Amino acid sequence: MRGLAPFWSDLFEKFGLMLLGLVAFAAIVGIILFVADKAPKKGRDVWQLLAFIAPALLLLAVGLIYPAVRTAILAFFDRTGDEFVGLDNFAWMFTQPDILRTLINTLIWVALVPTLSTIIGLAYAVFIDKSKGEKVLKSLVFMPMAISFVGAGIIWRFMYEFRELGFAEQIGLLNQIIVWFGGEPQQFLVDSPWNTFFLIVVMVWIQTGFAMVLLSAAIKGVPVEIIEAARLDGANAWQQFRNVTLPGIRGTLVVVVTTISIATLKVFDIVRSMTGGNFDTSVVANEMYTQAFNRNEFGYGSALALVLFLMVLPIVVYNVRVMRKQKEIR
């Protein structure tokens, strides 16, 4: 308990800095708008326009466009960024067993997470639709969405915790259940290749709530009259779902699947905090960080970032096209 005093001085110092930052920001924005307001009559509109969009555009140009272009270029240079190496970084990527494993893992993630999350989320949304306590039931499954991936990682580290049989009591619930049923406790996060699937479970646990909330909103948007008509025609619950609800929520389904796919491709925190990418569990986003910031291999890191970009690109393009089509329909 010693040393609460340094904590308070530390706190005041940091909040002071924050206040200073906020005031500085307000002052800059205020001055820009004020100057634009008082600009000479001639061309005032241009000045005001600049005042409104220049700050955002400047930040984006310097902080996002330039870096992205530079990363794309660095992908073809060596670790220091001085020497052009052509496609060597990509050749390295596809010849190293470790990195190939990383690429394959990423594909497994992106195949499983959207599928499982969407199916479970959709089933749950249908099951609880119009039921008593729907709100509470929704909150329970949706809650993991609010917490950080790191927090989720810790929660599941405890679920998966392993103790050698006979040496100690299990403290992880899953292994305890296995032991209760007379099984052998498993090292869920160490034994490859299954450990990747146990990491995927964590992501599914988080994303299911997201899928459920969106799909639930969509289900409620399907006109009751059509469902009613189908029911009167003698369709059973499954047929009603299959022939009325499902077509009615197709647009939302596409958005849910693509959104979760994109989030999954970029998954970093879960792998980082649960296995650190060891035991053959690494994924592209994690490997990119390891290469660039732990090993200072900026060439390799940039190449991996570029691969990630190329994986995300088609999904986003598809997503945007679907959304635009829907806008036209609407």
Partner 1 sequence: MTDVTDKAEAKLDRPLGQRNDPRAAKLSKASKAKQKLTSPGATIAAIIIAVVWTIPTFGLLVSSVRTPEEIRTNGWWNIFVSPSFTLENYAEVLTTQGASSANLGSYFVNSLVIAIPSALFPIILATMAAYAFAWIKFKGSGAIFVLIFALQIVPLQMALIPLLQIFSGVLGISGTFPAVWIAHTIFGLPLTIFLMHNFISEIPGEVIEAARVDGANHTQIFFRIIIPLSLPALASIGIFQFLWVWNDLLVALVFSGGTADVAPLTQRLAELVGNFGRNQERLPAAAFISLIIPLIVFFSLQRYFVRGLLAGSTKG
User: What is the footprint of partner 1 within residues 193-212 (CB under 8 A)?
Assistant: 205, 208-210
Q: Which stretch binds partner 1 (CB under 8 A): 22-30, 88-96, 99-107, 109-117?
A: 22-30
Based on the shown chain and the rule CB under 8 A, indicate whether residue 285 belongs to the binding site for partner 1. yes
Minimum gap (Å) between residue 111 Cβ and partner 1: 19
Based on the shown chain and the rule CB under 8 A, indicate whether residue 156 belongs to the binding site for partner 1. yes
> 77 by DSSP, 3-state: which?
strand
Based on the shown chain and the rule CB under 8 A, indicate whether residue 162 belongs to the binding site for partner 1. no
Based on the shown chain and the rule CB under 8 A, indicate whether residue 43 belongs to the binding site for partner 1. no
- What is the footprint of partner 1 within residues 90-149 (CB under 8 A)? 120, 123-124, 126-131, 137, 139-141, 143-149
Q: Is the dihedral of CA 138, 141, 142, 143 positive or negative?
A: positive
Based on the shown chain and the rule CB under 8 A, indicate whether residue 293 belongs to the binding site for partner 1. yes
Residue 103 near residue 93, CB atoms below 8 Å: yes
* Nearest of 55, 39, 224, 201 to residue 120 by alpha carbon: 201
How far is 135 from 215, CA to CA, in rounded Å?
A: 14
How far is 146 from 284, CA to CA, in rounded Å?
A: 24
Based on the shown chain and the rule CB under 8 A, indicate whether residue 79 belongs to the binding site for partner 1. no
In the complex with partner 1, which residue's Cβ is closer, 11 or 111? Answer: 11
Based on the shown chain and the rule CB under 8 A, indicate whether residue 44 belongs to the binding site for partner 1. yes
Residue 245 near residue 227, CB atoms below 8 Å: yes
* Among the listed residues 57, 87, 91, 165, the single contact to partner 1 using CB under 8 A: 57
Contact partners, residue 232, CB within 8 Å, separation at least 6: none
Q: Which stretch binds partner 1 (CB under 8 A): 85-93, 95-103, 104-112, 317-325?
A: 317-325
* Nearest of 295, 294, 288 to residue 265 by alpha carbon: 288
In the complex with partner 1, which residue's Cβ is closer, 199 or 265? Answer: 265
Residue 159 near residue 145, CB atoms below 8 Å: no
How far is 195 from 101, CA to CA, in rounded Å?
A: 13
Based on the shown chain and the rule CB under 8 A, indicate whether residue 222 belongs to the binding site for partner 1. yes
Based on the shown chain and the rule CB under 8 A, indicate whether residue 42 belongs to the binding site for partner 1. no
Q: What is the largest CA-CA distance in the chain?
A: 86
Minimum gap (Å) between residue 192 Cβ and partner 1: 19
**Bridge partners of residue 77, in order along the sequence:** 84
Say how many residues touch partner 1, by CB under 8 A: 136
